[in-house]
Chains A and B, each alone.
Chain A
Amino acid sequence: MTKDLDPALAEARKMYFEECAEMLDDAALRLANLPKSLDQTDAEEINAIFRAVHSAKGGGGAWGLTDLASFAHTFEALLGMIRDGAVKITSEIADLLIEANDILATLLQNAAQNSETDVSEWTDIADALKAAAGTETPAKAKKPKQKSQPKSKPAAKKKPTVYQLAPIIDNSSAGDLKKSLLDAIGKSSELDIDGANVERVTTLGIQVLLSAADEVASKGGAIHLKNPSPLLKECLGDLGVADYFGK
């Protein structure tokens, strides 16, 4: 990854490893003190640990360190839930966080030396982090069974709702678009979005469309983009999400 980097960026990359190593050392100290004060864990302690892991994740993505970014992402998700009060710190969780922090530091150290960390060294802990966060691991993931539709009324026969996109989807209209898409989704599990009129769209506008697709998918439905204008097609292609919507 270091080849072809201009000197300032190569220096920034080096700085990332040094800075993150320090932040993770600091996080390790904070984590070591967590079990002793389970009930009065200072929010700033968790925030500081969260930021260390978050920074490692961001740089991991920037410098193409896929495993590191993936592990940090899983670690960050659990910390985020702890920070939001959705998951309580028990002594087991405190131990898991300490272990995860160690692994992240190892991933970082190895990446700094351009050496790989064996996947077996971190996948178990990644699975444990997901389990603690209440998200299932890919290996164990049992897709929640969609409540089976009564066979006499096949849902597929239902006519999808059609939503016509406005010519301009910019940041000021993205909020309204989100609301009206959510309304449309509320009425049907199948949503057709007609994109023929789109003349201008921002990344936030695209993001709103992607959130809508996720929302429909979570209900077992699907979103289909119909007649995308050349510009919309190009934007989706540029962002690498052209295949995100069902045909």
Chain B
Amino acid sequence: MASKDSIRVLIVDDMQAMRAVAKSLALSLGAETVFEAENGEIGLELYRKEKPDLVLLDIEMPVKDGISTLKSILAEDNNANIVMLTSVDNMAVVEDCIFSGARDYIRKDVSPDTMKARLEAEFDKIR
């Protein structure tokens, strides 16, 4: 991936509180813009429109869940940089996402500091 100074992030999560945490962390790490979607359907629309550098994608969501959204985005853009955002205990689900093309996953049931460190690692891969 080409190195970038400005990172645009799309956060797809049904919980506003979780989006707020991820947004705050992304901005503190220097993200240029953060887009938010409350379900996969809106997330897919925003992805098409904004082509963000990084998608943080929740798994358990109403309307269109994370796995389905992951597959839809990748079907349209094979190079999409998608990282699952999860507190799912069932690692088989997370592995399924990775084997379907997600780049990695970040646990969200950890302290904001831990999550920030993981997010920073994802930013570093883009920069």
Q: How far is the CB of A156 from chain B (nearest CB, A)?
A: 30
Interface size on A, residues (CB 8 A): 40
Stretch of B3-11, B42-50, B69-77, B105-113 contacting A (4+ beta carbons < 8 Å): B105-113
B85-127 CB mask vs A (1 if < 8 Å, else 0) is 0011111001100110001110111111001000000000000
Partner of B20, one of A11, A57, A69, A211: A11
B14 at the interface (CB under 8 A from A): yes
Task: Write the nearest CB–CB distance from B110 to chain A, whole angstroms.
Answer: 6
> Which chain A positions have C-beta within 8 A of B115?
62
A64 interface contact, C-beta 8 A: yes
Contacts of A5 in B (CB 8 A): 112
Instruction: Check A58 against B104 for contact (C-beta < 8 Å).
Output: no
Contacts of A9 in B (CB 8 A): 21, 24, 112
Of the candidates A48, A62, A73, the one whose C-beta lies within 8 Å of that of B108 is: A62
Interface residues contributed by chain B, number (CB under 8 Å):
33
Q: How far is the CA of A103 from the CA of B32 in the complex (A)?
A: 42
Query: Which residues from B are CB-within-8-Å of A51?
Result: 14, 60-62
A61 touches B110 (CB 8 A): yes
Q: Total A-B pairs in contact (CB under 8 Å)?
A: 93
Report if A207-B20 is in contact (Cβ < 8 Å); known contacts: A62-B112, A64-B111: no
Q: Are B104 and A15 in contact (CB under 8 A)?
A: no
**Which among B21, B28, B91, B98 is the interface contact of A12 at CB below 8 angstroms?**
B21
A211 to chain B, nearest CB (A): 6
User: Is A8 close to B, CB under 8 A?
Assistant: yes
Question: Does any Cβ of B come within 8 Å of A202's Cβ?
Answer: yes
B31 CB–A CB distance under 8 Å? no
Q: B residues within 8 Å of A by Cβ?
A: 14-18, 20-21, 23-24, 27-28, 60-62, 87-91, 94-95, 98-99, 103-105, 107-112, 115
- What are the 10 A-B residue pairs with the smallest beta carbon separation, nearest first? A61-B109, A58-B87, A8-B24, A12-B20, A16-B17, A15-B17, A12-B21, A58-B109, A19-B17, A171-B98
Q: Measuring CB to CB, which residues of chain A are less than 8 angstroms from any residue of chain B?
A: 5-6, 8-9, 11-13, 15-16, 18-20, 47-48, 50-51, 54-55, 57-62, 64, 69, 73, 76-77, 80, 171, 174-175, 178, 202-204, 207-208, 211
A–B Cβ pairs within 8 angstroms, 22 of them: A6-B24, A8-B23, A12-B24, A18-B17, A19-B16, A50-B60, A51-B61, A55-B60, A58-B87, A58-B108, A59-B15, A61-B108, A61-B110, A62-B21, A62-B108, A62-B115, A171-B104, A174-B98, A178-B95, A204-B94, A204-B105, A207-B95
